[in-house]
Amino acid sequence: MLVVTFAATGAGNCVEVADAPYVYARTASGGFVMGAACPHRGGPLHLADVSADGRQVRCPWHGGRVSVARLRRQVASVRRGGSVTAVFSVPPGTPTRVRHVPVAAALCAAGGGEPAC
């Protein structure tokens, strides 16, 4: 297991683990770490729309939908203040890199719908 802490928003909001990017997303039902690339075609899932019921995100490249529940199960994480700590199922010492990627406003929603990114 690899434990990584990175910024929840702003500069340094993306951690790449073995070249796979992850960001902290927040919907009305809470926050979670998700893969920034679409699992179907590798599109920019960090720029996804969220369904009206908040249960799915839609890839901006091909319109495919991914369950928020599925995304939540992929990476265990906890947010404290401005940072998030995530546990990845890879060996310790796996290469990581922190950088910034834009996150769609729909994935930055706090409980009341105000932007949190």
- Closest alpha carbon to 32 in 44, 20, 24: 24
Residue-level pLDDT at 110: 57
Residue 48 buriedness (CB in 10 A; 0-12 / 13-18 / 19+): buried
pTM comes to 0.90
Residue-level pLDDT at 20: 95
Q: How high does pLDDT run on average in the chain? A: 90
The top-level CATH class assigned to 2-107 is mainly beta
User: One-letter amino acid identity for 85?
Assistant: T
* DSSP annotation of 48: -
**In the predicted model, what is the mean pLDDT of residues 20-28?**
92
Residue-level pLDDT at 116: 56
Instruction: Output Rg (C-alpha) for the chain, integer angstroms.
Output: 13
**pLDDT of 53-89, one tens digit each?**
889 999 999 889 999 999 999 999 999 999 999 999 9
